[in-house]
Structure 1
């Protein structure tokens, strides 16, 4: 399905490094709660601060990747991730952990911004996105199986994110130093399809908030409501992320055959049902069913939404801005989930989130339908190196 020689692997690696922190959010928040003198709500707030910092990087850098240069920004982002997450790993002082998480989050967001900009320049951005989701799902699944056996403490998942950023660093040599001057001069051109882009950004913020409100407390649902051990919860998450791999492969195989409206609209409705089921789980069977089905569908819908954002502007600005809006929702997720579950309980939280998803499925589907009806022009992006060369992409 994927021809290895035509995949822009540096961009896929950056995508993986940038998205790993949100994928490991349940174990990060759970370990903060158990390893540091903080409450469950405070641990959720730390997770939100990490992801808010990541979103801020995306908003700040959406139109600056070309000007600064992909290679430089990628290296800055990876360095911040290594220093921030690595520093938070080595201390038990809560303010220092918060600061390290925020620095690391900014680094993750920077890497994601570079990856999103480069992926949008590809001939088939949806295809490259599915490869990136495949990579981050596989890595996160392996870590969920491994982390419970490496001992207690808040630092292990943070160290895993830092080491991933360090491993990706050598691949930045294959990124362009800077974009051609004539492309940089076009940087101030207006964003195409502003209404569709703004609607997609606003709805994806809410979509991500709902997903990560549950994801941020899924570990606690398994441990406290379903009465499972940490190792069992880790196995469920690993299997769920494995199902996500199958979903990504399926999305890549289907490509545009189903259009974008059906996967985005119907997929969001099914995700709403999975969230309500998972949040109400009181035993292994219900918990595993909800989490596995949800994780199977989540990356499928996300890949189509990211591809939709990339199609709105081939220079990648909507891809970065919509991705950053998603990160804002992701950032608010852990705290929202913690507050809702603390005040109303996990099952009621699931119902609220499910209803919200059903509401926003309508405008998201409308944007997808509109994009399918019009012809979106592709703009060639000249660069100094063949890293983003469309002639060799897809």
Structure 2
């Protein structure tokens, strides 16, 4: 049988957007911190890293506690912290206050992302939901990139935009579920399924994310100093690139599970490595714009499949959150890594180093995707490529292991996000 297509989970998509907006706006946040405060490029990158590290810590702390605390309560707490932290940082003029606000806001973003990832893992089609979430956050970030350059100088505008987005999402959280303590306690005692595959993916994700955000964190400076663009022009390039990313996400959504996950993750990561080298080596408007657009088309495509892969490993969302938090560690180190590498060896050499790292990490990630999308090994498993899987009660098999991990729904099926 084919499952009916479920309505769009708008509260989850909005929460996903609020959680992911800070990483998407990282170049303008870091650039504005450098230009608007007495900070060097490396110091501004370190503040960006601290923000993202705080976000990652929320994922590790809360991965198994969403059901016990309640998705609604945790989401509202995260959004409140994000609004307070980013809003306070936007209004503050002292560096310590800005750093403290960014760290508090980062924890709020991470909390929102944790709830979104856990709930997406319970959706019938994780890949569909995560791609829609990436569409939303790309669209919102594109609008911010087009708007911020026209709002004057200073560090506060992009931070204020994240705070306002968090406040705007708050009313939608009423539709999220509350606390389910008894069920949560039973589920928390259950062992993580697919332990080896999950650990390999969690170990690889920091490197993958670090490369993306090392370049993303200094892309603004590449455009300004090496490609010779103005701030408004760089913002326009980012907006166009994110718009092109929307097309990539739409393509990933349309493609679905037709190619499995190994090909999009493996081949996509190799292509991203080439884009990283090209963007970092850009010396003019055309080469910079081309590199950024190509990269931003591919990045959300691969990310959507990685989110779905992590979600497929555990229908309760624990691997989705843990892998996402592990990726956030790399994301957190990205701005500082990019700043240090570019200061030490220049942007082109930085691009070569980052591209080589991506080629190396593509191997274990593709291996996990192949393993998770392999042949059926359990009697009674149901596999329907490119369509939703329907849960079937199989007496001698527990729900999380009753399905093959291929297709839009896997290993008991769930969504991941991110987010």
Q: List aligned pairs for 1:340-355, cutoff 5 A.
A: 340-355=341-356
User: TM-score, normalised on structure 1?
Assistant: 0.94
Give secondary structure in 1 for the equivalent of 2:178.
coil
Residue 259 of structure 2 corresponds to 258
Residue 234 of structure 2 corresponds to 233
CA deviation after TM superposition for structure 1 residue 180, in Å: 6.1
Residue 51 of structure 2 corresponds to 50
CA distance in 2, matches of 1:29, 1:374: 46
Residue 386 of structure 2 corresponds to none
Q: List aligned pairs for 1:1-394, cutoff 5 A.
A: 6-179=7-180, 181-375=182-376, 379=399
CA distance in 1, matches of 2:258, 2:152: 46
Structure 1, unmatched stretches of 5+, are 381-389
CA distance in 2, matches of 1:27, 1:124: 33
User: TM-score, normalised on structure 2?
Assistant: 0.89
CA deviation after TM superposition for structure 1 residue 5, in Å: 6.5
Quick check: which one's helix share is greater? 1
CA distance in 1, matches of 2:231, 2:34: 13
CA distance in 2, matches of 1:339, 1:180: 46
Aligned residues: 380
Give secondary structure in 1 for the equivalent of 2:283.
coil
Kept in 1, the 8 Å contact 2:71–2:115? The answer is yes
CA distance in 2, matches of 1:199, 1:210: 18
Give secondary structure in 2 for the equivalent of 1:6.
coil
How far does the alpha carbon of each residue in 1:14-47 deviate from its partner, in whole angstroms, 9 at most, with x for none? 1000000000000000000000001000000000
Kept in 1, the 8 Å contact 2:68–2:184? The answer is no
How far does the alpha carbon of each residue in 1:246-289 deviate from its partner, in whole angstroms, 9 at most, with x for none? 00011011110110000000000000000000000110011001
CA distance in 1, matches of 2:113, 2:375: 28
Structure 2, unmatched stretches of 5+, are 382-390, 392-398, 401-411
Give secondary structure in 1 for the equivalent of 2:256.
helix
CA deviation after TM superposition for structure 1 residue 183, in Å: 4.2
Structure 1 segments (4+ residues) deviating >3 Å: 374-380
Residue 385 of structure 1 corresponds to none
CA distance in 1, matches of 2:181, 2:8: 22
How far does the alpha carbon of each residue in 1:23-73 deviate from its partner, in whole angstroms, 9 at most, with x for none? 000000000000000100000000000000000000000000011010000
CA deviation after TM superposition for structure 1 residue 92, in Å: 1.1
Kept in 1, the 8 Å contact 2:69–2:181? The answer is no
CA deviation after TM superposition for structure 1 residue 239, in Å: 0.5
How far does the alpha carbon of each residue in 1:303-331 deviate from its partner, in whole angstroms, 9 at most, with x for none? 00000000000100000000001110000
